């Protein structure tokens, strides 16, 4: 197992990614943007408040806003970072050279996968001090923050796996990126649209056991995040679907299976004519 995570491919990818000045300028711009949003939110709340104080309820609202902004960032950036890692090697005509090394297909795919998500993990870790402002004013427990961060990391792995899958199957990087963004848009926006239709149908027909509402909700990252932050949404979904299992549990189970399948197929398709015993 050690060779899958500590190998020349991963070392090279990490060094190339983090030696660039653009990487740290992007990190700086991201933290400045998040900081400006937080300071601006506090300023507006205290400016329009009659008491002039920033209350714990408003701190929770700020936390919810930051959580959705960061999730949107993850869904927007992850496909772009992961959807060209294999097809890009193929277009530069370096993939065949990489395949002639002693690295197995599993090692190459996993190394490419983790190198593509390392930058996003850095963004999440670097944003933790900004979240400390929330604890300064109260309203959010550390347990909620840890659960949200865990959801972020898992979501990154999900959509990075989708990007690696299409990058392995599709030869052109631009087509791979467009396809990955299309799938991401479906899971992030399409399932939300279908969920609203299912909710409308359930309310018009006065149904209380429409499982489609639950299935569509558990596939949608923003809805899962909303159910973790706002208990009212969770109770509404339970009332409509009749399913009492937490959305995040089903979310993790379904997408964990999907990650395994996508990575397995990517490994198989990287060297399609090779003996499976030496992968």
**pLDDT, position 137:** 66
Number of domains in the chain: 1
Query: First-to-last CA distance in the chain?
Result: 13
Per-residue HEC secondary structure of the chain comes to CHHHHCCHHHHHHHHHHHCCHHHHHHHHHHHHHHHHHHHHHHHHHHHHCCCCCCCHHHHHHHHHHHHHHHHHHHHHHHHHHHCCCCHHHHHCCCHHHHHCCCCCHHHHHHHHHHHHHHHHHHHHHHCHHHHHHHHHHCCCCHHHHHHHHHHHHHHHHHHHHHHHHHHHHCCCHHHHHHHHHHHHHHHHHHHHHHHHHHHHHHHHHCCCCCHHHHHHHHHCHHHHHHHHHCHHHHHHHHHHHCCCCCHHHHHHHHHHHHHHHHHHHHHHHHCCCCCHHHC
Q: d(Cα 247, Cα 148) in Å, to the nearest integer?
A: 13
Q: d(Cα 154, Cα 74) in Å, to the nearest integer?
A: 11
Q: d(Cα 161, Cα 180) in Å, to the nearest integer?
A: 10
**pLDDT, position 261:** 95
User: Which tokens is 119 given?
Assistant: 């930058």
User: Measured over all CA atoms, what is the biggest interatomic distance in the chain, rounded to whole angstroms?
Assistant: 72
**pLDDT, position 237:** 87
User: Which tokens is 239 given?
Assistant: 């009332």
Task: Tell if the pTM clears 0.85, that is, is over it.
Answer: yes
> Which domain does 193 fall in, by range?
2-278
**pLDDT, position 218:** 92
In the predicted model, residues of the chain with pLDDT beneath 70 are 1-10, 13, 48-56, 136-139, 272-279
Per-residue pLDDT of 191-208, as tens digits, reads 999 999 988 888 887 777
**pLDDT, position 219:** 93
């Amino acid at each position: 197992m050690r060779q899958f995570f500590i190998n020349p491919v991963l070392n090279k990818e990490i060094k190339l990614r983090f030696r660039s000045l653009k990487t740290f300028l992007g990190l700086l711009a991201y933290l400045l943007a998040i900081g400006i949003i937080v300071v601006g939110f506090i300023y507006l709340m205290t400016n329009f408040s009659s008491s002039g104080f920033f209350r714990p309820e408003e701190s929770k609202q700020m936390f919810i806003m930051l959580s959705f902004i960061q999730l949107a960032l993850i869904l927007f950036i992850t496909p772009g970072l992961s959807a060209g890692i294999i097809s890009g090697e193929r277009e530069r005509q370096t993939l065949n050279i990489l395949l002639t090394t002693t690295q197995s297909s599993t090692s190459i795919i996993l190394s490419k996968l983790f190198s593509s998500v390392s930058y996003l993990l850095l963004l999440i870790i670097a944003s933790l001090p900004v979240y400390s402002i929330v604890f300064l004013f109260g309203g959010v427990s550390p347990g909620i923050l840890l659960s949200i961060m865990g959801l972020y990391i898992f979501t990154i792995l999900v959509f990075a796996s989708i990007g690696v899958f299409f990058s392995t199957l599709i030869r052109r990087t631009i087509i791979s990126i467009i396809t990955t963004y299309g799938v991401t848009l479906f899971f992030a926006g399409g399932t939300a649209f279908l969920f609203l239709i299912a909710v409308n149908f359930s309310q018009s027909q006065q149904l209380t056991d429409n499982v489609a509402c639950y299935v569509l909700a558990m596939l949608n990252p923003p809805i899962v995040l909303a159910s973790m932050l706002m208990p009212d949404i969770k109770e509404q979904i339970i009332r409509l679907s009749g399913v009492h299992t937490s959305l995040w549990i089903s979310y993790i189970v379904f997408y964990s299976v999907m990650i395994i399948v996508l990575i397995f197929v990517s490994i198989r398709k990287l060297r399609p004519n090779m003996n499976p015993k030496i992968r």
